[in-house]
Amino acid sequence: MATPYYFLLTTALRLAFDSIRAHKLRSVLTLLGIIIGVASVVLVGAAIDGLGVYAEESTAKAFGTDSYLVAQVAQVGRSTRAERAAKFRRNRRIRPEDIEYLRMTTGDQIQYSPYRVRVDDVRGPSSLFEGATILGVSATLAEIRDVAVLEGRFFNEQEESYRQNVAMIGQEIKEAFFPDSSPLGQVVRIRGLDFRIVGVQEKLGNAGNQSQDNQVYIPTGAFTRLYGPDPSMAVFGRPRPESGLGFYEALDYTRVALRTRFKTPPGAPDNFDTLTPDSIRSFIDSVLGLIQAVVIPVTCISLVVGGIVIMNIMLVSVTERTREIGIRKAIGARRRDVMLQILIESVLLASFGGALGLTLGAVAAKGLSAALGVNLPVTFGYVALALFVSTVTGIASGWYPASKASRLDPVVALRAE
């Protein structure tokens, strides 16, 4: 009568557990490679996912969720000097009169704000802040880009139309000049002109290596008074909530208006650039995908090393138990019985290592999240990848030793010392 398969499996499991318990130190040392490999995969995966979440949140804070940018050249990511030069030659400059044209033709459905940037020093009551980002914008930018105000308010349309010297500052400017007091109503000086502070922006952090907390928002008229007219500028747009337009519908309205303004021939590409949150996110995703493609295989190398260690230990184990295997085969054990025992022991070692590595990686991710103040999520995908690879490693590492043990001649094995 054939032995039930479940009995063979439970017997093999019991023998494998007994063998692991009998050599505790060796088993633990064998597991180290798998533990480190799985923990590395989980931790790196959590870091990549956390970086993606952080980048999306930073993009939403800095760019807005439903806004788009139009400029002579507006792009994200790397481009060659020749590509940029070609765009500057082909594309038309966006001038103040072009923005007024957009407001006249589509302004009842879309909000617009010019966007000009300079890097300059800002002087406070008793010190100087070097390299601040001065932004010349309209009052509508606060709604277009969902600018988060921590204290006070953004400047209004009346202050903009009267070209008043008012400003909203970032957290770095506030901490540099007014660390222990409210800056509202206080004055900072840019190029000899005093600007009254009406608001403080919420802390945004960095976008790449560029700080977003050293910004000073001022009205476009005041900006022109400081730096003069600009031959080319950018413009932010966003559909008005009451218009019922979707994001891409509003973008198409703007594109059609500018193509008409610039007399772009039908079928020809736009002779201006647009930038959307989706294009920024696509660039971020491509960078993270490249990191995944490079880093994850490298971390999996430690799993391969752990598999080699398991194979060596199982070969040693087979050599040590040659006489035991000979006795089992002499009393009727078949090849598959011996192979199943060795293979299950190898898989158990790898699985234990995978579980311990998963726990270690999750604890490390949680600790780093608390220490760095960022979210490093342990996602199911990387957990499944780590456990799958560790299990496959156990099977691959145990197959050869198990096959070798199962082929032992019982007569020769019984003679072994």
What confidence tier does 34 reach under pLDDT thresholds 50, 70, 90?
confident
User: Residue 65: inside a domain, yes or no?
Assistant: no
Structure tokens at 311: 């194979």
Q: Is the pLDDT of residue 325 over 70?
A: no
Domain that holds residue 188: 92-271
3-class SS at 185?
Answer: coil
Q: Is the pLDDT of residue 416 over 90?
A: no
- Asked if residue 136 and residue 265 are part of one domain, the reply reads yes
- Asked if residue 172 and residue 314 are part of one domain, the reply reads no
Q: Is the pLDDT of residue 1 over 50?
A: no
- Asked if residue 251 and residue 146 are part of one domain, the reply reads yes
Q: What is the C-alpha separation between 277 and 61, in angstroms, rounded?
A: 11
Length of the chain: 417
Higher-pLDDT residue of 273, 62: 273
Q: What is the C-alpha separation between 391 and 111, in angstroms, rounded?
A: 56
User: Residue 63: inside a domain, yes or no?
Assistant: no
Residue entry with tokens 């099977």: 395
Which of 268, 229, 272 has its CA nearest to residue 251?
272
Higher-pLDDT residue of 59, 109: 109
Strand duo 193-201 + 187-190: pairing: antiparallel
- Asked if residue 305 and residue 266 are part of one domain, the reply reads no
Q: How many domains does the chain have?
A: 2
Predicted local distance difference test score (pLDDT) of residue 413: 53
Q: Is the pLDDT of residue 284 over 80?
A: no
Predicted local distance difference test score (pLDDT) of residue 2: 44
- Asked if residue 245 and residue 292 are part of one domain, the reply reads no
User: Residue 166: inside a domain, yes or no?
Assistant: yes
- Asked if residue 112 and residue 223 are part of one domain, the reply reads yes
- Asked if residue 286 and residue 235 are part of one domain, the reply reads no
Give the dihedral sign, CA 83/88/91/93.
Answer: positive
User: Residue 151: inside a domain, yes or no?
Assistant: yes
User: Residue 81: inside a domain, yes or no?
Assistant: no
Q: What is the C-alpha separation between 185 and 195, in angstroms, rounded?
A: 9
What confidence tier does 59 reach under pLDDT thresholds 50, 70, 90?
low
User: Residue 84: inside a domain, yes or no?
Assistant: no
* Among candidate residues 252, 271, 290, the one where a domain is terminated: 271
In this structure, what DSSP letter does residue 293 have? Answer: H
Do 237 and 276 touch, CB atoms closer than 8 A? no
Q: Is the pLDDT of residue 333 over 70?
A: no
What confidence tier does 151 reach under pLDDT thresholds 50, 70, 90?
very high
* Among candidate residues 214, 241, 271, the one where a domain is terminated: 271
User: Residue 83: inside a domain, yes or no?
Assistant: no
- Asked if residue 290 and residue 254 are part of one domain, the reply reads no
* Among candidate residues 271, 302, 327, the one where a domain is terminated: 271
Do 64 and 145 touch, CB atoms closer than 8 A? yes
Q: Of all residues in the chain, what percent are helix, strand and coil, respectively (each to 5)? A: 60, 15, 25
Query: Which pTM was predicted?
Result: 0.68
Highest-confidence segment of 8-12, 283-287, 360-364: 360-364
All residues at 6 or more sequence positions from 327 whose CB lies less than 8 Å from its CB, including other chains: 410, 413, 414
- Asked if residue 264 and residue 169 are part of one domain, the reply reads yes
What confidence tier does 132 reach under pLDDT thresholds 50, 70, 90?
very high
Predicted local distance difference test score (pLDDT) of residue 37: 79
Which of 109, 107, 143, 145 has its CA nearest to residue 240?
109
In this structure, what DSSP letter does residue 162 have? Answer: T
pLDDT digits (tens, 9 = 90+) for 341-393: 777 777 777 778 788 888 888 888 888 888 877 778 877 777 777 777 777 77
Least confident among 4-18, 113-127, 185-199, 201-215: 4-18
CA dihedral 351, 354, 356, 360 (to 10 degrees): -170
User: Residue 71: inside a domain, yes or no?
Assistant: no
Do 216 and 169 touch, CB atoms closer than 8 A? yes
Q: Is the pLDDT of residue 99 over 70?
A: yes
Q: For residue 366, which amino acid is it?
A: K
Question: Across the chain, what does the average pLDDT equal?
Answer: 81
94 CB neighbour count, 10 Å cutoff: 26
